């Protein structure tokens, strides 16, 4: 472990030297990458320095115990040594967590797609509830939410809603939300008071930046048409809705929410880039995959990951056997406990697999 820490500190010093190199500063893309890596490493290097300091103090305390003649001073040194050894164990645990390879996508903004599954109108209403939950979470974290595309029903729900969330560490906090979310409750449209079970699917896509994915113009087919609202009613008298087909993959993205064809095209391109980026990332991950198969972070959209049981005020995340009886609070966007539990489980699984 000491050799690993030496390597990290040497690399950190090298990054510091590169940041002040005038030649590198001329290449803004490279400079940004180096500065970002340097920033990400600062917490780890600070912990390494603390770890080394505690080890040195333990060495001094042991030397004092060995050579000190005064019994009282010796006892004080032993007490100090006990405290230092506890501090060293705590620092080692923090270092283990910090040394887990960072997902380079964690700092990215996301595009989230929520779609109604089984359950008809009730599923569509739950899509709206989940959109509201993530929007409330975004408010508390000062993230920015922008709706990109909707397919609304008359009752105020959505067959589908696609939106972006931008801010600090968005993908790192929400990447575990991909999958099937099941809801159990009495629908507003149910007169007999019977509990129904419905489901929606969520996809969380890291948003592609300019250099992440290159799309050739000749690979795209653009169609424009007149947008429509809930129930098929016309909401626009011009052909402002846009459909983009990526010919090599067959991916199709539509956007009709804006009255401007140009704005709809720009939004649709953002979604298309995110989907292509995710597909390429999944392909590369499969190639380089090892024995570690993380269920928590797999992002398998066919996997039932969570149940929201309203009559019992219960939320259950099936991947980590987490059950919380505070659904009323969580659905209002107070998701910190859920997010932190998923992140902790993922770290622990990595450390177990790495042994």
Q: Please check whether residue 105 lies inside any domain of the structure.
A: no
| CATH code (residue 138) | 3.30.70.1660
Tokens 């917490």 correspond to what residue? 43
Residues 317 and 272 in one domain: no
| Position 137 pLDDT exceeds 60 | yes
Residue 322: strand, helix, or coil: strand
What pLDDT shows up at residue 44?
Answer: 92
Residue 2: strand, helix, or coil: helix
Residues 146 and 193 in one domain: yes
Joined together, the tokens standing for residue 24 give 């590198």
Q: Please check whether residue 123 lies inside any domain of the structure.
A: yes
Distances (CA, A) of 101 to 11, 44, 92, 105, 288: 15, 12, 16, 12, 14
Residues 198 and 319 in one domain: yes
DSSP state of 289: -
pLDDT in tens, 28-44: 888 888 998 898 899 99
**pTM > 0.75: yes or no:** no
Residues 94 and 11 in one domain: yes
Residues 310 and 345 in one domain: yes
Residues 117 and 92 in one domain: no
Q: How confident is the model at residue 288 (pLDDT cuts 50, 70, 90)?
A: low
pLDDT in tens, 295-352: 454 445 567 999 999 999 999 999 999 999 999 999 999 999 999 999 989 888 877 7
Range with the lowest mean pLDDT among 12-16, 113-117, 232-236, 237-241? 232-236
Domain boundary among 98, 133, 164: 98
Residues 35 and 139 in one domain: no
What pLDDT shows up at residue 128?
Answer: 96
Q: Between residues 159 and 101, which one has the greater pLDDT?
A: 159
The C-alpha atoms of residue 41 and residue 11 are separated, in whole angstroms, by: 10
Q: Mean per-residue pLDDT for 242-263?
A: 90
Range with the lowest mean pLDDT among 73-87, 138-152, 234-248, 332-346? 234-248
Q: Please check whether residue 248 lies inside any domain of the structure.
A: yes
Distances (CA, A) of 246 to 5, 216, 291: 46, 9, 34
Alpha-carbon 177 to chain mean position:
8
Q: Please check whether residue 337 lies inside any domain of the structure.
A: yes
Q: Determine the structural domain holding residue 261 and report its residue range.
A: 217-287
Distances (CA, A) of 6 to 19, 89, 165: 20, 19, 38
The C-alpha atoms of residue 180 and residue 203 are separated, in whole angstroms, by: 9
Residues 6 and 148 in one domain: no
Residues 41 and 89 in one domain: yes
Residues 122 and 205 in one domain: yes
Q: Please check whether residue 259 lies inside any domain of the structure.
A: yes
Residues 74 and 43 in one domain: yes
Q: 270: which strand partners?
A: none
Q: Please check whether residue 83 lies inside any domain of the structure.
A: yes
| CATH code (residue 283) | 3.30.160.20
Q: Please check whether residue 65 lies inside any domain of the structure.
A: yes
Q: Element (H or E) spanning 61, and its range?
A: helix 28-67
Domain count, the chain: 3
| CATH code (residue 54) | 1.20.58
Residues 132 and 78 in one domain: no
């Amino acid at each position: 472990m000491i050799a690993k820490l030496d390597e990290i500190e040497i690399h950190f010093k090298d990054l510091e030297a590169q940041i002040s190199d005038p030649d590198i500063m001329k290449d803004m893309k490279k400079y940004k990458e180096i500065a970002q890596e340097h920033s990400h490493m600062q917490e780890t290097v600070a912990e390494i320095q603390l770890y080394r300091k505690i080890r040195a103090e333990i060495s001094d305390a042991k030397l004092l115990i060995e050579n000190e003649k005064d019994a009282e001073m010796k006892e004080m040194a032993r007490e100090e040594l006990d405290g230092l050894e506890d501090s060293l164990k705590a620092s080692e645990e923090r270092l283990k967590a910090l040394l887990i390879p960072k997902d380079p996508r964690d700092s990215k903004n996301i595009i989230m797609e929520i779609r109604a599954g089984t359950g008809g109108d009730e599923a569509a209403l739950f899509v709206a509830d989940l959109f509201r939950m993530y929007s409330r979470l975004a408010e508390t974290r000062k993230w920015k939410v922008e709706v990109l595309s909707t397919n609304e029903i008359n009752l105020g729900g959505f067959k589908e809603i696609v939106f972006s969330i931008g801010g600090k560490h968005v993908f790192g906090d929400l990447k575990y939300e991909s999958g099937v979310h099941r809801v159990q409750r009495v629908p507003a449209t149910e007169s007999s008071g019977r509990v129904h079970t419905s489901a929606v699917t969520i996809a969380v896509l890291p948003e592609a930046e300019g250099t992440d994915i290159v799309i050739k113009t000749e690979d795209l087919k653009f169609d424009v048409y007149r947008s429509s609202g809930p129930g098929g009613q016309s909401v626009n008298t011009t052909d402002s809705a846009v459909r983009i087909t990526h010919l090599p993959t067959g991916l199709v993205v539509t956007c009709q929410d804006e009255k401007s064809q140009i704005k709809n095209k720009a939004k649709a391109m953002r979604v298309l880039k995110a989907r292509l980026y995710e597909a390429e990332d999944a392909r590369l991950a499969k190639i380089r995959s090892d024995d570690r198969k993380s269920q928590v972070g797999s992002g398998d959209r066919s996997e039932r990951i969570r149940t929201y049981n309203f009559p019992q005020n219960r939320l259950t995340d099936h991947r980590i056997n987490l059950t919380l009886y505070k659904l009323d609070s969580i659905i209002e966007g107070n998701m910190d406990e859920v997010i932190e539990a998923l992140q902790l489980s993922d770290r622990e699984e990595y450390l177990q697999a790495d042994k």
